[in-house]
Structure 1
Amino acid sequence: MTIPDPRHLAQRMHEAFNTRDIAAADEIFAPGFYSHPLRGGVEAVKAAWTAMLTACPTARTVVEDVLVDGDRVALRSTVYGLPAGGADAAAGTMLEIFRVAEGRITELWGSSTVSQLPR
């Protein structure tokens, strides 16, 4: 089994969101995964993605920067397609740090300048 590059794994998470592949969360996140912003695991991620995409069907993210240091990945992304600005307007920035083990995201910390993220 080939273990994905942590950089690819972080980008894969955003790709899954952008393609509305909610089921991919089960492959991307480890079974014991914990999201500090959502205060939950994989099911919390899937619920948050579903709520966001239901409320904002044109929402998408663009990964701008990815930094890898050992088992940590930091990434900056821009969020587009929220109601206030329309499909092509940047709505804010997300900063995320992931911890990776055995080819899956095990822990996530995040912060965002986007004020209208539904949950």
Structure 2
Amino acid sequence: MSNAETARNRAAFTRFHDATNSGRLQVITSVIDELVEPDVVFHAPVPMRTTGAQALKQVWTVLLRGFPDLRVTAEDVLAEGDKVVCRNTVTGTHQGEFRGMPATGKAVAYSEIFIFRFAGGRIAEIWGVVDVLTQLRQLDAITA
């Protein structure tokens, strides 16, 4: 893979990441349509029945409903060949229904790591590890 392809993948990741921080579902879904393969393989703890790009759109629908002020801060972004890896800190305020829980007004801050594999300049596969345990503890959904 050339340096130009690696740079193109990193730029596409940056556009995707910036969209996720827009707080606007329409912007996020538009960028998903542009940059994510419809049949993207999504390896992440996502409790839903949809697959592919639709699953990714559903994730953002659920997140923004629960945390309209959600911010994803990229702490590290590494690009090599056809992969981009990001380590993020996610913050937000629980202002709407999330995982069956009514709004609590509580702030959350948790970590996640995602690996994106690109093919032809589009996201073809995603692996994600999200610290859901910390998130749920901060919402008092579970105790230590």
Normalized against structure 2, the TM-score is what?
0.69
- Regions of 4+ moved over 6 Å: none
Say if 2:28 is the partner of 1:25. no
CA RMSD of aligned residues (A): 2.1
Is 1:11–1:63's contact at 8 Å kept on the other side of the alignment? no
SS in 1 for 2:78: strand
- Correspondence 1:97 to 2:115: yes
TM-superposed deviation, 1:114: 3.8
CA distance in 1, matches of 2:132, 2:74: 15
C-alpha deviation, 1:62, in angstroms: 1.1
SS at match of 2:93: coil
State how far apart, in whole Å, the 2-side matches of 1:111 and 1:94 are.
Answer: 6
Do the aligned partners of 1:82 and 1:91 also contact (CA within 8 Å) in 2? Answer: no
Amino acid at match of 1:60: R
| Structure 2 SS opposite 1:58 | coil
1:5 to 1, 4, 8: 8
**Where does the alignment leave 5 or more consecutive residues of structure 1 unmatched?**
none
Trace 1:42-53 onto structure 2 (pairs within 5 A): 42-53=53-64
Q: Is the 8 A contact 2:38 2:54 kept in 1?
A: no
Structure 1 partner of 2:18: 15
Structure holding more strand per residue: 1
Aligned-residue offset at 1:57: 0.7
TM-score by length of 1: 0.82
Based on CA coordinates, which of the two structures has the bigger radius of gyration?
A: 2
% same residue: 38
Unaligned runs of 5+ in 2: 95-105, 137-144
> SS in structure 1 opposite 2:88?
strand
From 127, 132, 140, the equivalent of 1:109 is 127
Structure with bigger RCO (C-alpha 8 Å, 6+ apart) = 1
Matched positions, count: 112
Q: For each residue in 1:46-78, what CA deviation from the matched residue of structure 2 results, as whole angstroms up to 9, or x when unmatched? A: 111011101111111011111112101111111
Offset from partner CA, 1:6-65 (integer Å, 9 cap, x none): 112222222111112122110110132111113721001111101110111111101111
**Corresponding letter in the other structure for 1:11:** T
- Higher helix share goes to which structure? 2
